[in-house]
Amino acid sequence: MISRQQKHILLKFFSMFSVVRGYNILIIVIAQYLTAVYIFANYKPVKKVLFDINLLMLVFASAAVVAAGYIINNFYDSEKDLINRPNKSMLDKLVSQNTKLSFYFVLNFVSVIMASYVSFNAVLFFSFYIFAIWFYSHKLKKMPITGNITSAILTITPFFAVFIYYKNFDTVIFVHATFLFLIIAIRELTKDLENIKGDLALNYQTIPIRYGESMSKKMISILIVLTLVPAYLLITKFEVGHMYFYFYVCMTLLFVFLVLLWKSKTKKQYLILHNILKFIIVAGVFSILLVDVDLVLKRIL
């Protein structure tokens, strides 16, 4: 039997895990390693990439900064989350704001220490990243368009750390990055539609509130059309192995998403759309394995 104290500690752990969105952190770590092995450093033996201490430090530093970013975002959005996500908010509140802020500073400090192992430039990169996340949460998040663009950029920033480290400037990488950026931008606009109630109550000037739901849907529709361009290029112009299956599925899902978008009016319907985009992003991470299904076997030695 679990004692009351053990249950309390367990609840605190799950609360903190919820605040830092541990599942997202895990996906980011996996994504960074997969992109390093299959895309950024596809010319190196797998063992050399996987056991590269510098890469490990960069990945852990990214994870720490992103986790800290979720904490500061949770801190500024605590009132809004009570309206938009009451159940999650109640779980998050099991950990005090002081404890969350302490973790925030510790995680950022640890990330800079890890970055210092790699280079001074890495320290500058992550220091700027930390500041950018704070400035977004404090100021930019409440601004329409600017907040959405900034959020999408900050989401893909951890991959820039790995990209800069390997200095691989192949065109295919920029096309992949464009595709990911557009999907994340669509997700950000969809989240605004999902969170209208809380944003309106706390005067967040998001696109649906400032310009209306119809304008948001039009912008999302345009972004979906734009997303088809890098997807088409990746299928027809670049060598992506069996990953083309993913892009075909993705384009099909985006078409379904577009149809449902214009029929959606409630928070529950927008949540379904948000989950479709989450699936596209997570599936995209693991579909990197399809770039070369025999790669590990061929390069393990």
pLDDT in tens, 281-292: 999 999 988 887
- Do 59 and 176 lie in one domain? The reply is no
In a domain, 189, yes or no: yes
In a domain, 194, yes or no: yes
State the Cα–Cα distance between residues 1 and 10, nearest whole angstrom: 13
Structure confidence at residue 2 as a pLDDT band (50, 70, 90): low
Burial of 301 (0-12, 13-18, 19+ CB in 10 A): exposed
In a domain, 24, yes or no: yes
State the Cα–Cα distance between residues 185 and 179, nearest whole angstrom: 10
- Do 297 and 194 lie in one domain? The reply is yes
- Do 135 and 195 lie in one domain? The reply is no
**Model pTM score:** 0.89
In a domain, 117, yes or no: yes
Q: At residue 261, does pLDDT exceed 80?
A: yes
**Secondary structure (DSSP) of 197-263:** HHHHHTT---HHHHH-HHHHHHHHHHHHHHHHHHHHHHHHTS--GGGHHHHHHHHHHHHHHHHHHTT
Determine the pLDDT at residue 250.
95
In a domain, 183, yes or no: yes
Final residue of a domain: which of 78, 107, 142? 142
Please give the residue range of the domain that contains residue 102.
Answer: 13-142
In a domain, 155, yes or no: no
- Do 40 and 130 lie in one domain? The reply is yes
- Do 209 and 287 lie in one domain? The reply is yes
In a domain, 111, yes or no: yes
Kindly report, residue by residue over 69-119, the tens digit of the pLDDT.
999 988 887 777 777 777 777 777 777 888 889 999 999 999 999 999 999
For the domain that residue 122 is a member of, what is the CATH number? 1.10.357.140
Query: For the chain, how many structural domains are there in total?
Result: 2
Kindly state the DSSP code that residue 290 receives in the 8-state scheme: G
Output the CA torsion sign for 242, 248, 253, 258. positive
Closest listed residue to residue 164, CA positions, set 47, 45, 32 = 32
What integer is the mean pLDDT of 37-42?
Answer: 86
What is the C-alpha end-to-end distance of the chain, expressed in Å? Answer: 48
- Do 114 and 174 lie in one domain? The reply is no
State the Cα–Cα distance between residues 289 and 301, nearest whole angstrom: 18
State the Cα–Cα distance between residues 71 and 65, nearest whole angstrom: 10
Q: Are 164 and 125 in contact (CB under 8 A)?
A: yes
Neighbour count for residue 299 (Cβ, 10 Å): 17
- Do 201 and 282 lie in one domain? The reply is yes
What integer is the mean pLDDT of 138-163?
Answer: 89
- Do 233 and 276 lie in one domain? The reply is yes
In a domain, 98, yes or no: yes
Q: At residue 1, does pLDDT exceed 70?
A: no
State the Cα–Cα distance between residues 223 and 231, nearest whole angstrom: 12
